[in-house]
Structure 1
């Protein structure tokens, strides 16, 4: 499937790579992996994490594409079309 969101996604620098800011603010350290919004740079925890803050960001802000913020990874994901790019 061709995804226009992935094709149009920009680049951003992560706001942090130290952890999920929302989890840290709430006193949690149990995130699994970090994801970064390619529209605004927001960093949140992945769907394998208990609170899924990257998905929460997409649902609240409507920013469709994120990328892995894990060292050595650069793959991207579109929440709308559910495809990797």
Structure 2
């Protein structure tokens, strides 16, 4: 059975990371993070769900940008927070 395409893929844009050094909010707050995620709509860099403050997920739901890519060296995957699936 074919897998349906995620309807949010149309929101992906060419982006530049807004903060190449880490999670935008954690850097401002002085909070630690575990892994980083890059918003593929605006370039926001946020921390993952294993991080204490989960800024990437918060950005997706508050701003409405559902698809992120791993911003970790050697990782090449994308995730849709709205549909809870790899895309």
The Cα of 1:4 is off from its aligned counterpart by 2.1
Q: How does 1:9-20 map onto structure 2 within 5 Å?
A: 9-20=12-23
TM-score normalised per structure 2: 0.85
Aligned to 1:46: 48
Q: CA RMSD in A?
A: 1.3
Larger Rg over CA atoms: 2
Q: Which runs of 4+ in 1 moved over 4 A?
A: none
User: Which structure 2 segments of 5+ residues have no match?
Assistant: none
TM-score normalised per structure 1: 0.87
User: Which structure 1 segments of 5+ residues have no match?
Assistant: none
Aligned residues of 2:38 and 2:71 also touching (Cα < 8 A): yes
